[in-house]
Amino acid sequence: MNNILDDDLFATHSMGGIINLQQAGIYHNNLKIVTTKYGHIWHILVKDEIQKGVLKIKGVFVYNYVFNKDGFKVQKVANEIPNSDWFDINIIDNNERLILWELN
């Protein structure tokens, strides 16, 4: 099975920030997912250790996702029917200041 997603989907993960904590009283934990194929950016607030959800564009389901300590996976959705394959997406962790990344 070819486990490469051809949708130019990229993700960054950011946590913390002393300024956020001081100003808003929150320690943020966010995912930012970008697709150049659809020209769209999703901002997701991470609330759970294992978080599942859907990524939509104008109300249309495009991907299912799972984010946990092991990484970030997406599943394509077409006509509200999920593809059986899940794709691993490498994440830029803003806290570790990673520079180079790619799709698995």
Look at residue 101 in the predicted model and tell me its pLDDT. 39
Q: What is the pLDDT of residues 5-28, one digit of tens each?
A: 666 888 988 887 676 667 776 677
Q: What is the pLDDT of residues 44-90, one digit of tens each?
A: 999 899 999 999 999 999 999 999 988 999 999 998 899 899 999 98
For residue 62, the Cα-to-chain-centroid distance in whole angstroms is: 13
What's the longest Cα–Cα distance across the chain? 48
